[in-house]
Amino acid sequence: MSMQALDQSEAVQTGAYDRSGEAPLLEVRNLVKRFGALVVTDQVSLSVRPGELHALIGPNGAGKSCLIGQITGELRPDAGEVHFRGERVDALAVPERARRGLARAYQVPRLFGSLTPEANAAVAEISRQRSGFRFWRRASTDRALAIAARAALDRVGLGRVDAPDPAGRHHPRPAGLLAHGDKRLLELAMGFASEPAMLLLDEPLAGLGPADSAAMVSLLRSLKGRYGILLVEHDVEAVFALADRISVLVGGRLIASGPAALIRTDPRVRTAYLGEDA
Residue 114 found at the interface with another protein (CB under 8 A)? yes
Q: How far apart are CA 96 and CA 191, in angstroms?
A: 15
Residue 275 found at the interface with another protein (CB under 8 A)? no
**What is the three-class DSSP state of 125?**
helix
- How open is the CA angle 12-51-55, to the nearest 5 degrees? 60
Q: Whose Cβ is closer to another protein: residue 29's or residue 128's?
A: 128
Residues 181-200 that bind another protein (CB under 8 A): 187, 190, 194
CA distances from 41 to 76, 84, 190, 220, 246 (A): 11, 19, 29, 27, 17
Residue 169 found at the interface with another protein (CB under 8 A)? yes
Candidates 4-12, 14-22, 163-171, 228-236 — which segment interacts with another protein by CB under 8 A? Answer: 163-171
- How open is the CA angle 154-102-160, to the nearest 5 degrees? 20
Residue 147 found at the interface with another protein (CB under 8 A)? no
Residue 72 found at the interface with another protein (CB under 8 A)? yes
Element (H, E) at 128: helix 117-129
Options 36, 133, 143, 276; binder of another protein; rule CB under 8 A: 133
Residue 115 found at the interface with another protein (CB under 8 A)? yes
Q: Whose Cβ is closer to another protein: residue 34's or residue 100's?
A: 100
Options 26, 40, 124, 243; binder of another protein; rule CB under 8 A: 124
CA distances from 192 to 11, 151, 265 (A): 29, 10, 35
Q: Whose Cβ is closer to another protein: residue 131's or residue 213's?
A: 131
Q: Which of 61, 95, 89, 59 is nearest to 77 (CA)?
A: 89
Q: Whose Cβ is closer to another protein: residue 135's or residue 267's?
A: 135
Q: Which of 238, 187, 245 is nearest to 214 (CA)?
A: 238
Residue 123 found at the interface with another protein (CB under 8 A)? yes
Residue 200 sits at φ, ψ, to 5 deg, of: -110, 110
Residue 134 found at the interface with another protein (CB under 8 A)? yes
Residues 88-107 that bind another protein (CB under 8 A): 93-96, 98-99, 103-104, 106
Q: Whose Cβ is closer to another protein: residue 95's or residue 157's?
A: 95
User: Are 180 and 207 contacting, i.e. CB atoms less than 8 angstroms apart?
Assistant: yes
Instruction: Note the residues at the interface with another protein (CB under 8 A).
Output: 72, 74, 93-96, 98-99, 103-104, 106, 110-115, 119-120, 122-124, 126-128, 131-140, 142, 145, 165-167, 169, 187, 190, 194
